[in-house]
Amino acid sequence: MSFRGCKALLFSLLLAFTFVPLAMLGQDSSSSAGTQPAVTCPSVTLAESVGPYTGVAPLPPAAPSPPPNPGTTSAGSVCVSSPANGATVSSPVHVKAAAKLVHPIYFIRVFADGKSQYFDWFNTVDAFLWLAPGPHKLEVLATDKTGKQASTTFTLNVTSTKPAPVSQIQTLPLWDGCSAKFPPGHPRAGQLCAAGSGNAISTITENQSSPSLTGHSAKFTMGGPTKYTNMLWTRYLGGGAAPTHFTYDLWFYVDRPEVAQALEFDTNQTFGGTRWVFGTECNLKGDHVWDVWDGVKGWIPTKVPCSSLPAKTWNHLVWTFQRVGTHVRYISVELNGTTFPLNLYYSNQANVPWRFEGIDVAFQMDGDYRQDPYNVWLDKVTLSAY
């Protein structure tokens, strides 16, 4: 079972379509004035798509545009509990939906105005959509393992207020963890993930009271028997093609920074089959600077130093990015109050078709030549997008 699959099983014991809030927003994202009443959806048990235990999982089909709208079928039904049909909302829109299917889920997508905005492997949706101001028609389309589908549609109107940040991301369940490749049973089993020379051993534990700035940090462990192995942890937040500017703001605490090979902090945006990777890495034992990701050439060193970090001390990190056409722009990095302007432009993931629409944040731990164990805590993890 995958890391997310294990958490999905635990999560389903606590709820049956009673959602834990995806994250804390700076403002209420919806208003029910003049809309249809909120819908109470049938109970479903949270379930994740299961991939092969041997070999490599196939990629899902590309998102159709426009999507089919089969409605309720012999395969099952889809219900949206929030927002209400016709609601006036602010961006990002918090969408909650569930698919009640006869056969196991393969994947689910959320479309806005005929374009896929969000992809996930679960039979439920608890995601934020960053949408432009104005009226929109949305569709939630679920596909089961036999290829049959069910869907539902609804409308909403997005106000022109500036999108609120998504905060306290480190408290959220269902972080997706993978080492060199996605593990057996994961819906992307066998596909490349964090690279490295093998599989690391790593865990995540949310809502740690110490060390913590909020009383709700997340602890990430790193170790294993094989040197130079890595672990990537990703939290899929939602999706949308509207945002072009991103700020990834977080605090991190390392118990043994002297043994960490590198620490990576990423933001990713995917739509229309194209992926923009805003990848950054404090390359502690490599080139001793902050590296940034070029979708064609790979890691590119900057001139910003990152050769050491204080042990058992909270560090404040702020990265600002911009999507510019087919390029990613690294605007600046701030560490512990010192800002380093960059203004670097590099390629997106050119010529690499991407089937997983969405916006996410990620954190990766890299092991050194002895795979020395260490731990990192994250707190106040926030993504702002507009």
Mean pLDDT of 293-320: 98
For residues 278 and 295, give the distance between their C-alpha atoms in angstroms, rounded to a whole number: 9
Contact between 342 and 330 (Cβ < 8 Å) = yes
- For the stretch 328-344, pLDDT in tens is 999 999 999 999 999 99
Mean pLDDT of 360-368: 98
Let me know how long the chain is. Answer: 386
Which residue among 158, 180, 213 closes a domain?
A: 158
Mean pLDDT of 221-241: 98
Chain mean pLDDT for the chain: 92
Which residue among 158, 181, 203 closes a domain?
A: 158
Coil, strand or helix: which one is 252?
strand
For residues 119 and 106, give the distance between their C-alpha atoms in angstroms, rounded to a whole number: 11
Which residue among 158, 185, 200 closes a domain?
A: 158
Mean pLDDT of 170-178: 97
**How many domains is the chain partitioned into structurally?**
2
User: Is there a single domain that holds both residue 111 and residue 244?
Assistant: no
- For the stretch 116-170, pLDDT in tens is 999 999 999 999 999 999 999 999 999 999 999 999 999 999 998 899 999 999 9
For residues 13 and 292, give the distance between their C-alpha atoms in angstroms, rounded to a whole number: 40
User: Is there a single domain that holds both residue 154 and residue 216?
Assistant: no
What integer pLDDT is reported at residue 38 of this predicted model? 67
What integer pLDDT is reported at residue 352 of this predicted model? 79
Q: What CATH number did the domain enclosing 252 receive? A: 2.60.120.200
User: Is there a single domain that holds both residue 234 and residue 369?
Assistant: yes
The whole domain housing 306 covers 166-385
User: Is there a single domain that holds both residue 139 and residue 193?
Assistant: no
What integer pLDDT is reported at residue 25 of this predicted model? 52
